[in-house]
Amino acid sequence: MQDRQNWDWTPGRRIVGDFDKWRPAYEYMEEPHVSADGEKIAAIVKTGPEEFSVCVNGQPWESHFEKAWSLGFTQENCPVALVSDTAMWTVAVDGVTWNNWYEFVWNPIFSTKGSSITAAAQSELKYFALTDDIPWENSFLALTCLIATPDGKNIAAVVQDKRFAEADIDNFQQGCFTVAVNGNAWDTHYVNVWDLDFSGDGSQVAAEVRTSLYDYTIAVNGKTWDKQYSCVWAPRFHPSDGSVSAPVKLAGGWSLARNGEVIWNRRYFQLWHHIYSPDGNSIAAVTAPEFGRWTIAEDDQPWNLRFNELATDPVYSPGGDRIACVGKSGGKWYIAADDTIWDTPNDMAWQPVFSPDGSHVAAKAERDGRYTIVVDGRPVDEVFAAVMQPVFSPDGRRLLVKGILPESAGGQYCRHVFEVDALAP
Amino acid sequence: MNTKNNTETGADQKQIHDVAIEEGARRLTREKIHSVLSELIRTEGGARLSAYSNACVHCGMCSEACHHYLSNDRDPKLSPAGKVKQTIAVIMARKGKVGPDFMKKACEIAFTECNLCRRCMMYCPFGIDVAYLMLFIRRACHKLGVVPQYIQDTAHSHSATMNQMWVRDDEWIDTLQWQEEEARDEIPNIRIPIEKEGADIFYSVIGPEPKFRAQLIYQMAVIMHASGADWTMSATPGWDNSDMCMYTGDMEMTARLKKVHFEAATRLKTKRIVMGECGHAFRSVYDVGNRLLGWKMPPLPMVHAIEFYYEILQQGHIEIENKFEQPVTFHDPCNIVRGRGLHETARYVVDKTCKTFIELEPNREHNFCCGAGGGVINCGPPFKNKRVKSNRIKAEQLASAKSKGAEVVIAPCHNCHGGLEDIINHYELGMEIKFLADILYECMKKE
């Protein structure tokens, strides 16, 4: 977990770097990424013909590569990129590459507790996952849907471990796909497997599976639910009791099932992306109670609010008593919290963030190419050329906004800490 | 135009063997068929199926609209009404009590003798959507496990990889990086931005592009670069907008594919989707998949590449340096012209980029299908000859344009490319086929 307590929470704006002035030093600079604490800003830069590096706070890494992509930061604010030399790939952490190189590396996952880095890799057409440069002992014919536990200690992926020839539809339908956890495949195979989830303790994995061309269900550690459905969406573990829930399609529409038993009575035209409240007592989901009308439903009770185009990014407050989401109607994007839409229409809006006590909601939004942070429905008094997700201080009294100022205002990258009480309407 | 290979036509052709149809039918019982068809008619057919099935008065107006009928000596079995009469009409009259041999034949008709092109619908006095009826048969075939092998294999690819061509995640990203590298030889600082959050445009393509036609990604990168577009492509599944499951009748999988596609675009917080030059993919995203998932219209604004080219030309974001010299004709793909009305938009782009344009006759919404659409080309080699022979009328249409001077056929659709290529080769028409992007790339000012 990020050690937010030790970040600089001094109110006011602090320029971290002259981002726009770094650009001319390179043939080009890709879009920037910012560390969680906002103290580092980095971008992949082209330093010469077919030569790339990463520029962090204006300084390029000493190492240069043939290619670099997928830049990000670990929770401990360390820049990481996938890099290639002589057509082989590895992970570079703060400019230092791992020892092992692979034919391809992709989909890096940074642990949210600790500093582990997991990625998918391929060598000699064998697929596997690796964590902190240690590859799985077993490899597979294909690998996708990689996930990791928050501490990075357990890794799972959908894998193919049975061959079938081109156009061999019979063998395919017998089931050639399964789930591998830490490199060990389940014994059971399925026609298809998608969307995995780890239990809170990392000991179980749930997956969406297709057992025949027509039957969908959920499998947990290789054992399927007793019931089959005409469709299911991604399963989620309860935060503590080990049960698994998933949207399931029934004759009258979509509903939610737990361990194979339907637990919501309503039938929705659509239901997906359900989330548990942190205490596990409630479930919220994106739903379409009527065709073409979208909202959030909590514990089978849809909000009155409807979006005509989209509802997305639902999030619970840490206490579980509030929900916020993003919605789209009439071509505009909105933030909504607790069944109430914020007035301001945006050209884009990002997943809202709750303060630790749940009393405030902040969200990144964009309008006319200018970015800002909206707090409880009111934009902060500053616009940016680019801005990152806002972060509340542990006591919830301050809000860290990390953004690049517009060119007209200097184009610098700055950290701006706001007093939340001064922002809220 | 050479028709020497067209010795067998229509009903005279030898029985075509497709192992999956044969094997699927062998596993069927009358009871199973009855149960599945009754359930489907009750739960999915409803008033629409009933109205379309009952409304046909056998006036024959649809016949002259169908390239299968016209290309096969006006064989009445290949007229749209004839295909309905042999399939859904029998099922409805017998209340689903049909046998495995019937389903085999119905499968072949619905999958390989109808391109779902909807030309006949325009000529039907009642507006009967024969494509809907044939799709209903395909849906029944899917539920019964009687689907041609090659298109079923493609549907499997979709389900396993979320793309049409078994392209693995690493191969996809590698292809984008490779094309970016190639493009840099021409434009040193060009990018194919992968996973760029907040970009204006989410650009999606169909599976065959990274597999067989990677230069199209390169060309689009050049077009995007020159027009100053803020764009991105997804590194994750969802980059492929195509959908053969829609054509095998696996609508559950179609919904899943479209969900992944829309979610890739929304995850990256892009404002709109620009799709590459593909017709059926457009139909699946704009018309079918969105509605299966609960959207009246796609959740994000979505345009076909033609509309994007129109926009950047019309707004002066790109300049044409030298117009394309060879005389061209334009093939109107069914799914974006009858399906979306983009014929004039396309002609604007052709007019801006080409010196000499010769219309195919008929054209626009009256254009003949290429014979590949509707998943027919995806039914693979067993049906290739039949498909090409069922497009003699298209060959004549192309030959007529050639006689007026057309040397290049522009077709802004991948399936149309495949279909037209086979027709041009089979009938030895000696014409070249291009995408609009090929023309645009060749003629535009690049920096």
Read off the pLDDT of each residue in A120-133 and give the average, rounded to a whole number.
Answer: 97
Phi-psi region at A358: left, alpha or beta (left = phi > 0; alpha = psi -120 to 50)? left
Kind and range of the H or E run holding B167? none
- With contact defined as beta carbons under 8 Å apart, do A114 and A78 qualify? no
Q: Across all residues in chain A, what is the average pLDDT?
A: 96
Q: Assess if residue B41 is contained within a domain.
A: yes
Q: Assess if residue B320 is contained within a domain.
A: no
Among A107, A104, A108, A103, residue whose Cα is nearest residue A93: A108
> Is residue A21 scored above 50 in pLDDT?
yes
Count of A-B CB contacts under 8 Å: 107
Residue B20 CA to chain centroid, in angstroms?
22
- Helices B305-314 and B436-443: angle between axes, nearest 10 degrees: 30
pLDDT at B12: 47
Report how far residue A146's alpha carbon sits from residue A158's, in angstroms, rounded to the nearest whole number: 7
pLDDT at B5: 65
Q: Shortest Cα distance from B71 to chain A (angstroms)?
A: 30
Report how far residue B57's alpha carbon sits from residue B38's, in angstroms, rounded to the nearest whole number: 24
Q: Assess if residue B6 is contained within a domain.
A: no
- Other beta carbons within 10 angstroms of residue A170's beta carbon come to 11
- Most B CBs within 10 A among A52, A145, A169, A389, hence the mutation to make, goes to A169
CB of B381 less than 8 A from some CB of A: no
- Most A CBs within 10 A among B35, B269, B379, hence the mutation to make, goes to B269
DSSP category for residue B397: H
pLDDT at B2: 80
- With contact defined as beta carbons under 8 Å apart, do B357 and B330 qualify? yes
Claim to verify: residue B269 and residue B343 sit in the same structural domain: no
CB of B255 less than 8 A from some CB of A: yes
Angle value at C-alpha B175, between B172 and B181, nearest 5 degrees: 145
- With contact defined as beta carbons under 8 Å apart, do B300 and B272 qualify? yes
CB-CB: which of B159, B160, B252 is closest to A230? B252
CB-CB: which of B177, B294, B380 is closest to A288? B294
Among A358, A353, A359, residue whose Cα is nearest residue A373: A353
Q: Assess if residue B323 is contained within a domain.
A: no
Claim to verify: residue B111 and residue B179 sit in the same structural domain: no
Tell me if A169 and B195 make a contact (CB, 8 A cut-off).
Answer: no
The structural domain count of chain B equals: 3
- With contact defined as beta carbons under 8 Å apart, do A210 and A216 qualify? yes
**In this predicted model, what pLDDT tens digit does every residue of B143-179 receive, in sequence order?**
999 999 999 999 999 999 999 999 999 999 999 999 9
Among B205, B115, B196, B125, residue whose Cα is nearest residue B165: B205
What is this model's ipTM?
Answer: 0.98
Q: Assess if residue B8 is contained within a domain.
A: no
Tell me if B189 and A46 make a contact (CB, 8 A cut-off).
Answer: yes
Query: B202 pairs with which residues across the strands?
Result: B232, B273
Among B296, B190, B266, residue whose Cα is nearest residue A290: B296
CATH number at residue B73: 1.10.1060
For B:105-164, CB contacts with A below 8 A are 142-143, 145, 149-150, 152-153, 156, 159-161
DSSP string, A241-294: T--EEEEEEETTEEEEEETTEE---S-BSEEEEEEE-TTSS-EEEEEEEETTEE
Among A183, A164, A161, residue whose Cα is nearest residue A173: A164
Written as six digits, the tokens of A52 are 């790339």
Report how far residue B80's alpha carbon sits from residue B60's, in angstroms, rounded to the nearest whole number: 9
Query: A366 pairs with which residues across the strands?
Result: A348, A371
Claim to verify: residue B278 and residue B348 sit in the same structural domain: no
Report how far residue A344's alpha carbon sits from residue A377's, in angstroms, rounded to the nearest whole number: 7
Kind and range of the H or E run holding B68? helix B67-71
Query: A301 pairs with which residues across the strands?
Result: A298
pLDDT at B447: 76
Q: Across all residues in chain B, what is the average pLDDT?
A: 96
Specify the 3-state DSSP secondary structure of B25.
Answer: helix
Percentage, residues of chain B above pLDDT 90: 95
Cα distances (Å, whole numbers) of residue B373 to A180, A346, A386, B143, B151:
39, 39, 44, 22, 12
**Confidence band for A409, pLDDT divided at 50, 70 and 90:** very high
Domain boundaries, position B418:
328-443
Residue A38 CA to chain centroid, in angstroms?
19
Claim to verify: residue B180 and residue B308 sit in the same structural domain: yes
Report how far residue B116's alpha carbon sits from residue B373's, in angstroms, rounded to the nearest whole number: 7
Report how far residue B309's alpha carbon sits from residue B345's, in angstroms, rounded to the nearest whole number: 9
Instruction: State the residue for tokens 């909105």.
Output: A334
Cα distances (Å, whole numbers) of residue A249 to A240, A246, A254:
26, 10, 4
Helix, strand counts (H, E) of chain B: 24, 7
Q: List CB contacts (< 8 A) between B296 and chain A.
A: 291-292, 308
Sign of dihedral through CA atoms B190, B193, B197, B203?
positive
Claim to verify: residue B371 and residue B308 sit in the same structural domain: no
Written as six digits, the tokens of B401 are 């344009």
- Other beta carbons within 10 angstroms of residue B333's beta carbon come to 35
Tell me if A312 and B236 make a contact (CB, 8 A cut-off).
Answer: no
- With contact defined as beta carbons under 8 Å apart, do B112 and B147 qualify? no
Claim to verify: residue B298 and residue B332 sit in the same structural domain: no
Claim to verify: residue B136 and residue B178 sit in the same structural domain: no
**In this predicted model, what pLDDT tens digit does every residue of B347-406 receive, in sequence order?**
999 999 999 999 999 999 999 999 999 999 999 999 999 999 999 999 999 999 999 999
Claim to verify: residue B169 and residue B238 sit in the same structural domain: yes
Q: List CB contacts (< 8 A) between B159 and chain A.
A: 191-192, 210
pTM: 0.97
pLDDT at A321: 97
pLDDT at A84: 98
Report how far residue B212's alpha carbon sits from residue A39's, in angstroms, rounded to the nearest whole number: 45
CB of B190 less than 8 A from some CB of A: no
Q: Where are the alpha helices (DSSP H) in B274-340?
A: 279-283, 289-293, 305-314, 334-337
**Confidence band for A392, pLDDT divided at 50, 70 and 90:** very high
Higher-pLDDT residue of B211, B16:
B211
Report how far residue A231's alpha carbon sits from residue B250's, in angstroms, rounded to the nearest whole number: 11
> Is residue A2 scored above 70 in pLDDT?
no
**In this predicted model, what pLDDT tens digit does every residue of B1-52 receive, in sequence order?**
787 667 554 444 557 899 999 999 999 999 999 999 999 999 999 899 999 9
Q: Assess if residue B2 is contained within a domain.
A: no
Instruction: State the residue for tokens 């497009």.
Output: B391
> Last residue of a domain, which of B147, B173, B203?
B147
Residue of A nearest to B197 (CA): A31
Report how far residue B283's alpha carbon sits from residue B237's, in angstroms, rounded to the nearest whole number: 19
Claim to verify: residue B305 and residue B335 sit in the same structural domain: no
> Last residue of a domain, which of B314, B347, B378?
B314
Residue A295 CA to chain centroid, in angstroms?
21
- With contact defined as beta carbons under 8 Å apart, do B81 and B57 qualify? no
Q: Assess if residue B107 is contained within a domain.
A: yes
Question: What is the residue type of A337?
Answer: A
Angle value at C-alpha B118, between B89 and B131, nearest 5 degrees: 35
pLDDT at B3: 76
Claim to verify: residue B135 and residue B186 sit in the same structural domain: no
Specify the 3-state DSSP secondary structure of A74.
Answer: coil
> Last residue of a domain, which of B117, B147, B177?
B147
Claim to verify: residue B256 and residue B342 sit in the same structural domain: no
Question: What is the residue type of B89?
Answer: A
Kind and range of the H or E run holding B190? none
Tell me if A31 and B173 make a contact (CB, 8 A cut-off).
Answer: no
CATH number at residue B275: 3.40.50
Cα distances (Å, whole numbers) of residue B318 to B106, B303, B412, B436, B441:
49, 18, 19, 14, 10
Burial A89-100 (b: 16+ CB within 10 A, else e): bbbbbebebbeb
Q: Assess if residue B203 is contained within a domain.
A: yes
Q: Shortest Cα distance from A286 to chain B (angstroms)?
A: 12
Read off the pLDDT of each residue in A156-169 and give the average, rounded to a whole number.
Answer: 96
Report how far residue B377's alpha carbon sits from residue B422's, in angstroms, rounded to the nearest whole number: 10
Q: CB-hemisphere CA count at 13 Å for A25?
A: 15
Question: What is the residue type of A365?
Answer: A
Phi-psi region at A130: left, alpha or beta (left = phi > 0; alpha = psi -120 to 50)? beta
Claim to verify: residue B129 and residue B225 sit in the same structural domain: no
Q: List CB contacts (< 8 A) between B301 and chain A.
A: 331
Among A98, A101, A132, residue whose Cα is nearest residue A115: A132
Q: List CB contacts (< 8 A) between B295 and chain A.
A: 292, 309
**In this predicted model, what pLDDT tens digit does every residue of A243-280 receive, in sequence order?**
999 999 999 899 999 999 999 999 999 999 999 999 99
Query: A52 pairs with which residues across the strands?
Result: A46, A65
- Other beta carbons within 10 angstroms of residue B409's beta carbon come to 25
- Helices B305-314 and B215-227: angle between axes, nearest 10 degrees: 30
Burial A318-349 (b: 16+ CB within 10 A, else e): bebebbbbbbbbeeebbbbbeeebbebbbbbb
Written as six digits, the tokens of A133 are 């440069």
Higher-pLDDT residue of B115, B13:
B115
Tell me if B153 and A106 make a contact (CB, 8 A cut-off).
Answer: no
